[in-house]
Structure 1
Amino acid sequence: MNFLANPLLSSSTLTPLFDPFGFGRAAFDYWRDSVERSVLYLDVMRERGNQYLEHMEQTKPSVLGFDTEVLMDGRTLPRPTNYELLRVLPHEGTEVDLQKRPFVVVDPRAGHGPGIGGFKPDSELGVALKAGHPCYFIGFLPFPEPGQTVEDVVEAEIAFLRHVIELHPETTERPMVVGNCQAGWQLMMGAALEPDVFGPILIAGAPLSYWAGEHGKAPMRYTGGMSGGSWITALTSDIGDGMFDGAWLVQNFERLNPANTHWKKQYHLYDNIDTEAGRYLDFERWWGGHVVLGGEEIQYIVDNLFVGNRLSTAQLVTHDGRRIDLRNVRSPVVVFCSKGDDITPPPQALGWIRDLYEDEDDLIANEQTIVYCQHDTTGHLGIFVSSSVSRKEHTEFTANMDYIDVMPPGLYETTVTHTDDHHDPALIERDYLLEFTPRNFAELDRDVMHKPEDDRRFATVARVSEINLGMYRLFLQPWLKASITPEAARWIRRMHPIRLGYKLFSDRNPLSVPLPVMAEVVRKNRHSVSQDNLFKALETMGSDQIVTSLNSMRDLRDANTEKMFMNIYGQPFLQAAVGLHGDAHVHRRRPGAEPEHRRFVKQRQEEIREKIAQGGAHEAVMRSLIYVLGGAPATDERNFKRLRASRSELEPGIKLSEFKRLVREQFFILKLDREQALNVLPGLLNGLSNADISGHVKQLEHVFAASGELSERAAERFAQIKMLFDKARPAKPAAAPAKAPAKTVAKPKSAAKPAAVAEPTTPKPSAAERAPAKLQSVKPLASAEKKAASKSVAKPANGAGKKTPPKR
């Protein structure tokens, strides 16, 4: 390589006199630069291979970017698993407040190794540590324990969370839990079985509704049908002697985007070889850290989730008879997905809501709070890997979890906007603001795009899968199991094309011996060219053409796959052959539409209706707060300041769980019958003194002022609340007459009128503030007003002593 550094071979000395336009110089500079880049690229591939071999030889490989200590080992549990609970140790200079809510990240076990949730300083763990939360990480080992099942893993995660709760007895809030991709649906299963263990749940890029998807997109949902069902999964596990190689899952991901897999990612490294080597190697350390799953685990996942779609329809039952119904989840759920994600598109991330619940009232009756956020462009990995996403969306999710935890039930969509876009940036504590907008199911349907006619097709796939799996287990599996030995299974894993691609470029290949020496010479005498070089520009154009061609081939492949799937599984003959033809057949269970569930919703509404007139000042104040803020203390974190102030000032000393119950109950009441809920407010305050009522009004004013002026609508509602509070004030006794009352009366005619009767001094409301008609005649106050008025009526001047009823 020394000839490249020879000054006699510089472009200036070799440019002929007949090259006035510099084409020869540009060609030579480009040739030298391309040779140097090729040497450096091959050396990076060599380092990648060495890194892969070193990573795979570790007993506990991880790409986690933080120091940790093991707190619990899943292998010691009654039903052993290969999972671990780790305490994350903050970097030097980062302070952690043990009084804050614990933060737990669970990484996906979908072919890759653990650590992606804390891969970078700007990651899910990094964001939580910067916010001062004590952080924990649930990772896993490369190989499963013998007999390990999905249910065992779910129970292990529940045990880990219980241990985290025990470590923070001074914290009343349950841990916030983050599940990425596959870990998301595992966490939802655990939260459905043990809802009291989980705090707010953030699921990022997690598929829960596997039949959902938009036509022309989401090609992975057709994979099971085009392979004839889950028999291929059983075959792959049997080839591995009961172990399923995660490299097969990684290969499925790579096939989704052949342009990026076979050209774009590698060319980007080659084109920016001087700056991209470190980032590329860091990512490849995780992407190539393939792990192994148990055959029973992956079969359960494919049969019940990817093909059967039984999680979002409450059809899964544990081995001990417990139904896994996601409607049992009591924690707020934040769903983070992206329109640019072709592995877990928004319909698959959000479709479970539509599968389980019929409408918003059904959602509210189940006391469920669901918040979803859709990124516009980022891919599947970017949801939980991208630093820009972590600095923006994940920072806001973490900062607002306490707010989300006390939000009333309902469906909300969030957007993240910059502080400068708002008129009151002083009230915003960070660079971005997370805003919440209530949504209805009609708006949700536009994102889910559910098509009932597709359900029969996917139900047909599930039936065909059961048939093919049964045939495989009857005829082929016994022969295969008898011929595969553990040694043969290990050799097959090592010869997987993806694994082999790493090893061939490592130092174990004798041809790579001169690469480090050549690369060192190039680095010392590097001659890079700029994009202005004609041939470099032509190279870039050629790369773009290759990417475009590969993308066109992918689109054609996906379109044909979808067309074949729709035609094959839409055939009436095939549907009839598996017993699914006919309009009367129920192809997909809809738990929200079942009669027993509708009875539950009606019963729940009756229970709430009975509580409308129950309670006291606490209920009246919180009901007023929610009503003034528009039916839900939502929109953004500035209103959270109001809610937080209401907890510390209006309800001092109340526990978060009780405060949450109070907020939700009063929200239910207002949602069910707002007119009656307001009508009984004076009755809830009955018995309080004028000073107490005035104190509550002043406290409400202070809370509402926490984030600036109220909107016009909120101000009108607050005026209505003040009027209702005034109705509850006790009647003031009239001034006692003088000892010689006859002398103090100027006009005898007016003595026939009663003296001033104590009445609530309610200002006359404007037309915009005037309450409904029913609010002007509050029946629960009638007896109280008569009793108070009878004691406070002064004697008339004529001495008749006749009692006069108060004015109405």
Structure 2
Amino acid sequence: MLSDYALDSWQRIVLYADVMRRRGNQYQEHLAEEVPNVLDFPAELVMSGLALARPVNYGLARILTPDAPEPDPTKRPFVVVDPRAGHGPGIGGFKAESEIGVALRAGHPCYFIGFLPDPVPGQTVEDVMHAEAIFLEKVIALHPHSDGKPVVIGNCQAGWQILMTAAMRPELFGPIIVAGAPVSYWAGWHGRNPMRYAGGLMGGSWVTALAGDLGNGRFDGASLVQNFENLNPANTLWSKQYNLYANIDTEAPRYLGFEKYWGGHVFLNDVEMQYIVDNLFIGNRLATAELITSDGVRLDLRNIRSPIVVFCSNGDNITPPPQALGWITDLYRDDKDVLLHDQTIVYAVHDSIGHLGIFVSSKVGRKEHQKFASNIDLINLLPAGIYQALIVDKTPDTPNADLASGDYVLSIQRRSIEDVRAIVQPDVANDRKFATAARVSEVNLAMYRSFVQPWVRAMVTPLTARFLQATHPLRVSYELWSDRNLLAPVVALEAEKIRQHRQPVSSDNPLLKMQEAVSDTITASLDSWREWRDTLYETTFDLIYGSPLVQALTGQAASDATPPRPHPGISPEHCEYVRCETQHMDDDVRHGGLVEAAVRALFYIYRFRMIADERRVNLALKLVKPQYTQGFGMEQFRCIVRQQARLMLHDFDGAMAALPDLLANAEPDAIRALAEWLQQVLLVPEEPAPDEDASLQQMLDVFERAASAKDKPAVRESASVPVTQPKAKPAKSITPA
């Protein structure tokens, strides 16, 4: 028993050392690549950001499909933008079951926006935004027959970056999917999200400026990765390595694949990182429309007219749901505010997956990302409002399962600002503490720039900067153990012998069980230490920035009636915008024709239904496609659906009373064909509810009156619409069929 375990342990140790040697070799090879990335798909460069008038280290690549059919040219292209948050690009196409993989299988052309390890000197965040806009213009030009504008996916840091670009150039974007993207940085749950306190505990962004100066104008992405590592010391210091050791016979390929990405550290310009920390991490200005470009454009996320899908997870300790969703409650006071801005927001909250799992998990790729990609037309048609995406397993008992792609069924359920607020749990007192920390950061940064920065920059040289980068703790672990080490050949030779004569210990060996128990104890101890540390962080932050004296000195006294953050909904220009939009909707209620009448009728029938099922929507699109391909396209059809939904949410009674006016110029046969279409849609995929069936009969009666009046114009009656008031408020009950 002891001898078997001792032999197995020795073999595991040697094999573990060999995997780490291979990791070091992989790290060196990856850095030597001209364009290092972890894409699992072949690609070709379409446009280089280095050639732009304002050059950046980004590039647009087309994903190739040599072993698969060519994508459908009529389907909107997908553009995946990977985060430049310390690691290299490619995580969105890291596996076959990924954002790129599921989009390709759904028949969409795919593009990828990646970047080089080193930024262009002087490159700014705003330069990157302009480059992304130019890339999207190129994609649009390459697909003139597409059903609509490109779907853009932004992971993590790329999420807020594409939202900023979309706020600046909304006409370039189709549906937007942001996965694990922090947008409201002050938000979080007490006792669970300590990362948001880091800026305040370090005294502000002067530390970022110091790091940029020590790097001779470059910020090392390894420092960002180290911040992520520090969040979970049990995984960083023990679990990740122990899992490799304990499963050394099977775990090596997965471990090396992930480490290729995790160890591919890249750089940012100091001006880029300073902008991000000052305006986002500490200043939190994006969520309240306070950012203005050098061209004078206000980056207001309410300008975005494309649907925004927010995918987050309760298990994400880097971007928890409050930070992913908090911008909604920051920008909008109520559901009417969302309606007036004609904005559609769909959120999906995973129960447990971690931050990186949102992008790299095969299970998430097969489920969430597959459903988003295959139902992008459904998402694109959703009227203004807030929704939650619900994904359930497809079973043998699922009605009309053939109308839902894959192994799951997607439904979209109507939600409200209050539902989002319940997740985010905004707190004015908490915001005041962060506003105080932001003001302290400004003061400390100004003092550093005035009294310390000139001396630091005078002492730093390119040589000292390279030395600091090479000796970064995360880089050292990769650099020290590879074939460059004199002992590496000995370990490689011994590992090869062991693989040929491997003798694993029996799974029921008591010493092996004792080993697992020791590992569990170490993990639990590190988790306990993390909880104590995080509590200390939060308590210290609250004591410092919750102090009445500190708040008073920074102009954030709790007794002050001024809120700690300006709400963009109370500005004079916003109030004027609301007045104009309301007037426009009042004028549009009686405008339209047969298609508009069909949409209103459908919304009327489904006004009690809280869920839009992909099976019913797929059937509706299938039935209506011959109509919308004759005379107008999908984007025009989308505009009609969204506009009619807005009008009904705005003035339900007026919109329904105007229905005969919309049918007045239609031919009788067309009106009756429309009535038949309504019946077909209602009967699939399940029996209609009694309220829906009664509403259908009312609409059929209205349509028959209109058709009969056209048949016998001499005896035309002044038809009125026999509608009943909805049981719930229209703003919460109308959803697309």
Between the aligned partners of 2:42 and 2:15, the Cα distance in structure 1 is 32
Indicate how the Cα distance of structure 1 residues 731 and 101 shifts in structure 2: closer, same or farther if over 3 A, else same.
closer
CA contact (8 A) 1:94 1:129 kept: no
Alignment map for 1:403-422 (pairs within 5 Å): 403-420=378-395, 422=398
CA contact (8 A) 1:633 1:639 kept: no
The corresponding residue for 1:711 is 689
Q: 2:537 matched to 1:561?
A: yes
Alignment map for 1:695-706 (pairs within 5 Å): 695-705=673-683
Between the aligned partners of 1:51 and 1:553, the Cα distance in structure 2 is 33
Deviation at 1:510, TM superposition (A): 1.6
Q: 2:460 matched to 1:460?
A: no
The corresponding residue for 1:589 is 566
The corresponding residue for 1:612 is 589
SS at match of 2:487: helix
Deviations 1:484-543 (A, max 9, x none): 111110111001111011111112222323101110111111110132000000000000
Between the aligned partners of 2:86 and 2:499, the Cα distance in structure 1 is 36
Q: 2:338 matched to 1:360?
A: no
Between the aligned partners of 1:58 and 1:494, the Cα distance in structure 2 is 18
Pick from 617, 622, 638: which aligns with 2:599?
Answer: 622
Pick from 550, 555, 560: which aligns with 1:574?
Answer: 550
The corresponding residue for 1:401 is 376
Indicate how the Cα distance of structure 1 residues 687 and 463 shifts in structure 2: closer, same or farther if over 3 A, else same.
closer
CA contact (8 A) 1:338 1:375 kept: yes
CA contact (8 A) 1:634 1:640 kept: no
CA contact (8 A) 2:55 2:120 kept: yes
The corresponding residue for 1:694 is 672
Deviation at 1:705, TM superposition (A): 4.1
Indicate how the Cα distance of structure 1 residues 683 and 270 shifts in structure 2: closer, same or farther if over 3 A, else same.
same
Letter in 1 for 2:464: A
Between the aligned partners of 1:316 and 1:71, the Cα distance in structure 2 is 31
CA contact (8 A) 2:667 2:710 kept: no
Q: 2:268 matched to 1:308?
A: no
Deviation at 1:77, TM superposition (A): 0.2
CA contact (8 A) 1:68 1:88 kept: yes
Deviation at 1:157, TM superposition (A): 0.7
The corresponding residue for 2:733 is none
Letter in 1 for 2:556: L
The corresponding residue for 2:633 is 655
Alignment map for 1:462-611 (pairs within 5 Å): 462-581=438-557, 582-611=559-588
Deviations 1:14-64 (A, max 9, x none): xxxxxxxxxxxx111101100000000001111111111111122211111
CA contact (8 A) 2:386 2:416 kept: yes
CA contact (8 A) 2:608 2:692 kept: no
Indicate how the Cα distance of structure 1 residues 512 and 690 shifts in structure 2: closer, same or farther if over 3 A, else same.
closer
Deviates more, 1:574-583 or 1:256-265: 574-583
The corresponding residue for 2:731 is none
Deviations 1:136-169 (A, max 9, x none): 1000000000100000011111111110111111
CA contact (8 A) 2:156 2:181 kept: yes
Q: 2:239 matched to 1:287?
A: no
Between the aligned partners of 1:36 and 1:75, the Cα distance in structure 2 is 49
Deviation at 1:91, TM superposition (A): 4.8
Q: 2:58 matched to 1:74?
A: no
The corresponding residue for 2:732 is none
CA contact (8 A) 1:332 1:368 kept: yes
SS at match of 1:220: helix
The corresponding residue for 1:205 is 180
CA contact (8 A) 2:208 2:274 kept: yes
The corresponding residue for 2:299 is 324
Deviations 1:317-338 (A, max 9, x none): 1111111110111110000000
Pick from 109, 115, 137: which aligns with 2:84?
Answer: 109
Deviation at 1:761, TM superposition (A): 13
Higher radius of gyration, 1 or 2: 1
Deviation at 1:689, TM superposition (A): 4.8
SS at match of 2:412: strand
Between the aligned partners of 2:38 and 2:49, the Cα distance in structure 1 is 20
CA contact (8 A) 2:75 2:147 kept: no
Between the aligned partners of 1:687 and 1:151, the Cα distance in structure 2 is 51
Between the aligned partners of 2:401 and 2:41, the Cα distance in structure 1 is 34
Between the aligned partners of 1:162 and 1:647, the Cα distance in structure 2 is 30
Deviation at 1:708, TM superposition (A): 4.5
User: Which structure would you say has the larger RCO, counting Cα contacts within 8 Å and 6 or more residues apart?
Assistant: 2
Deviations 1:699-736 (A, max 9, x none): 322343454543322211111112222333455999xx
Listed as ranges, the gaps of 5+ residues in structure 2 are: 727-737
Alignment map for 1:248-263 (pairs within 5 Å): 248-263=223-238
Letter in 2 for 1:601: V
CA contact (8 A) 2:203 2:440 kept: yes
SS at match of 1:337: strand
The corresponding residue for 1:158 is 133
Deviation at 1:408, TM superposition (A): 0.6
Deviation at 1:94, TM superposition (A): 4.5
SS at match of 1:189: helix
Deviation at 1:468, TM superposition (A): 0.4
CA contact (8 A) 2:156 2:180 kept: yes
Deviates more, 1:531-540 or 1:418-427: 418-427
Between the aligned partners of 1:496 and 1:733, the Cα distance in structure 2 is 83
Between the aligned partners of 1:214 and 1:622, the Cα distance in structure 2 is 41
SS at match of 1:658: helix
Deviation at 1:625, TM superposition (A): 1.9
The corresponding residue for 2:111 is 136
Indicate how the Cα distance of structure 1 residues 538 and 684 shifts in structure 2: closer, same or farther if over 3 A, else same.
same
What is the aligned length? Answer: 723
Instruction: Give the TM-score taking structure 2 as reference length.
Output: 0.95
Pick from 680, 701, 705: which aligns with 1:723?
Answer: 701
CA contact (8 A) 1:641 1:706 kept: no
Listed as ranges, the gaps of 5+ residues in structure 1 are: 1-25, 735-756, 775-808
Between the aligned partners of 1:142 and 1:731, the Cα distance in structure 2 is 70
Between the aligned partners of 1:41 and 1:236, the Cα distance in structure 2 is 34
Deviates more, 1:382-391 or 1:51-60: 51-60
Between the aligned partners of 2:418 and 2:59, the Cα distance in structure 1 is 42
Deviations 1:738-793 (A, max 9, x none): xxxxxxxxxxxxxxxxxxx957799xx9xxx963499xxxxxxxxxxxxxxxxxxx
Deviation at 1:406, TM superposition (A): 1.2
The corresponding residue for 2:39 is 64
The corresponding residue for 1:666 is 644
Letter in 2 for 1:771: V
SS at match of 1:444: helix
CA contact (8 A) 1:626 1:633 kept: no
Deviates more, 1:313-322 or 1:695-704: 695-704
Q: 2:723 matched to 1:771?
A: yes
Letter in 2 for 1:629: Y
Between the aligned partners of 2:704 and 2:430, the Cα distance in structure 1 is 59
SS at match of 2:390: strand
Between the aligned partners of 2:612 and 2:711, the Cα distance in structure 1 is 45
Between the aligned partners of 2:62 and 2:266, the Cα distance in structure 1 is 22
SS at match of 2:43: strand
Letter in 2 for 1:435: S
The corresponding residue for 1:351 is 326
Between the aligned partners of 2:182 and 2:424, the Cα distance in structure 1 is 12
Instruction: Give the TM-score taking structure 1 as reference length.
Output: 0.87
Indicate how the Cα distance of structure 1 residues 663 and 773 shifts in structure 2: closer, same or farther if over 3 A, else same.
closer
